[in-house]
Structure 1
């Protein structure tokens, strides 16, 4: 009968199913399972050490947009706050009172030079003082004789003239020493004073060195204010006004600067106009020579509404056909689709998707795109 033939088959199937139910389930990777439960779409989990190892650098987005220019720039000393200290006379350096980075007050000695020229200048002062003292004594004597009607008025006038000339000669000798530096504590020495209060940022002399007249010895800078110089085409420079605000960024740091000068003359070689902006640096946040990014909004930018955001062009990757940036999170990065506008120097305008101020991956952001694609492949997306 048919059912007798089917029965053994049914029993065999039940026995196989029972054996399968009793068999132990294959072991799973707990870490993978946990990661799967915690995974968020578009997120890449990376530690700070992994980010450093991948060579990924972070930048902070800034607002600028249409009507704005973003250019590389370098922190410079304020042109009005840096001075070169030179030797007015030649000689041997016998004392140095300041080293690199040390503070100095206006008029304080930076170095002392010993030379025959210094001796001649100081000797002229001593001689002028002696001549003035003699002329003054002679004037007093002639004044007394004239009052006694013993000496004629002509002798009194001559004595007054001699005293005046001696006083002028002393003043001239003192000014010559002051122009050379100042008294160095000995007849053959001249002190070289600081022309302004600040820090010693350059020193080109060593103790015992013989220096020539007009040789540069130091540079002293007042670093409470620093500057950035931008080179703009004439059409853009014409839209910048003194007092305009410039956003300065470098990594996670940012500040604002104010335009101090817009050159009315183009550079002969580049045919660009220099725009100098000054930064308040009393906190010592910026260093001279440091590369930064400067974003300046032009005068004809549309009023009202928030300006679009600027990001480096290298920070934008194409993911599933859409422009995407990778925003830093507590766990790593999150892929965020954005809408792009036109380029702005080395940056590109983001019209939607970012608020400004986010930290995003810049250098080597393509590694995050690759990691994102790997993760989606593993999850069967």
Structure 2
């Protein structure tokens, strides 16, 4: 009897345990196909978004913070000292001819109008002869017009005769002006065709391409002159930052010797297709280092209350772009930003935030990792 009682009791316990286990599994797996399908629709992937509450994020080690404000917003740009746009002159031969004399050498300082080289050629002689012919014709026409005017006033010739001779005089004067302009453009050659080429600007001779006895064709390069007092700074800027850099913005230039000078932006040229950087030109407001010197600059983009700042941990790199995870009602969204300088654990935000957002700070890298897993799962 005892054995029978124990057997029945054991069977009853096993039956209850089996029933309980079945009930638990039912609770975990009691999902109809329709319910599962609805859940899958809710879990649809949204690009650059993580559905996660702030409380759950905090449990995972992601802490939120607000966007702060720091000092003036700046952007550091690499650059160099270069000649200004109109500081380089290339002197070409105005006429064909043989070089009779070279008046300068590389490195010489010259003033505007200084003699650079002398050429002798038939073209110059012909041009000067044309001036002489035109001058003689103009004098004769002017005399004829004056004579006809006196005769008209005396009643000897008709008015139309005087007007015709006056028109001929005006035409002769126009031809003389044209001949003189041509001679000036050809270096004002003498009657013998000797023309002296003169410096159009003051500066240093940086190149001489002629020798005595050489024959030059019209337009051939004779020399180059650089006005090294007319320089500018040329900086390379990230293409994405061009919209934040404005003409007139102040630039603090770091010289090779460690000192700083100020300058002002005069032009911003967006990068060409497939170019690596945009070009920013600035005019020095103080004596600049020598041409070719490597410099850097801090472009002041904002003043007054200061630019936006976020903790350095908040800025993550996603697909090659800097992003900050901004808190939304249903989760965190990866928001692209343009960053400025970084100092003391903070990073300036030049573009992408308005200052009123709550963002993921410490532990933001976990959101980036989670987003990466989500992307991978979505691709599968």
Q: TM-score range by the shorter chain?
A: 0.5 to 0.7
Q: Give the match for residue 67 of structure 1.
A: 74
1:223-372 equivalences in 2 (<5 Å): 223-243=228-248, 244-252=250-258, 254-263=260-269, 265-270=270-275, 272-279=277-284, 286-290=289-293, 292-300=294-302, 351=344
CA 1:214/1:250 → structure 2, altered by over 3 Å: closer, same or farther? same
1:216 partnered with 2:221: yes
Q: Give the match for residue 83 of structure 2.
A: 77
In structure 1, how many angstroms separate the alpha carbons of the residues matched to 2:262 and 2:81? 13
Q: Conserved in 2, the CA contact under 8 Å of 1:224 and 1:281? A: no
Q: After superposition, what is the alpha-carbon deviation per residue over 1:124-161, rounded to whole angstroms, capped at 9, x for unaligned?
A: 11111011111112112222222222222222122111
In structure 1, how many angstroms separate the alpha carbons of the residues matched to 2:72 and 2:158? 88
1:80-119 equivalences in 2 (<5 Å): 80-119=86-125
1:170 partnered with 2:147: no
User: Paired residue for 1:198, among 195, 203, 207?
Assistant: 203
In structure 2, how many angstroms separate the alpha carbons of the residues matched to 1:121 and 1:208? 22
In structure 1, how many angstroms separate the alpha carbons of the residues matched to 2:133 and 2:342? 74
In structure 2, how many angstroms separate the alpha carbons of the residues matched to 1:135 and 1:100? 50
Q: After superposition, what is the alpha-carbon deviation per residue over 1:195-254, rounded to whole angstroms, capped at 9, x for unaligned?
A: 223332332222332222222222223222312212222222222222321313214555
1:143 partnered with 2:149: yes
Q: Give SS of 1:201's match.
A: strand
Q: Give SS of 1:80's match.
A: coil
CA 1:81/1:134 → structure 2, altered by over 3 Å: closer, same or farther? same
Q: After superposition, what is the alpha-carbon deviation per residue over 1:314-372, rounded to whole angstroms, capped at 9, x for unaligned?
A: xxxxxxxxxxxxxxxxxxxxxxxxxxxxxx99xx96649xxxxxxxxxxxxxxxxxxxx
CA RMSD of superposed structures (Å): 3.1
CA 1:101/1:174 → structure 2, altered by over 3 Å: closer, same or farther? same
In structure 2, how many angstroms separate the alpha carbons of the residues matched to 1:152 and 1:184? 43
- Under a length normalisation based on structure 1, what TM-score does the superposition of the two structures give? 0.56
In structure 1, how many angstroms separate the alpha carbons of the residues matched to 2:273 and 2:92? 30
Q: Give the match for residue 4 of structure 2.
A: none
For structure 2, the 5+ residue unaligned runs are 1-70, 308-338, 346-380
Q: Conserved in 2, the CA contact under 8 Å of 1:87 and 1:215? A: yes
Q: Give the match for residue 31 of structure 1.
A: none
Q: Give SS of 2:244's match.
A: coil
- Under a length normalisation based on structure 2, what TM-score does the superposition of the two structures give? 0.57
Q: Conserved in 1, the CA contact under 8 Å of 2:263 and 2:286? A: no
Q: Give SS of 2:212's match.
A: coil
In structure 2, how many angstroms separate the alpha carbons of the residues matched to 1:247 and 1:288? 14
CA 1:211/1:350 → structure 2, altered by over 3 Å: closer, same or farther? farther
In structure 1, how many angstroms separate the alpha carbons of the residues matched to 2:136 and 2:284? 53
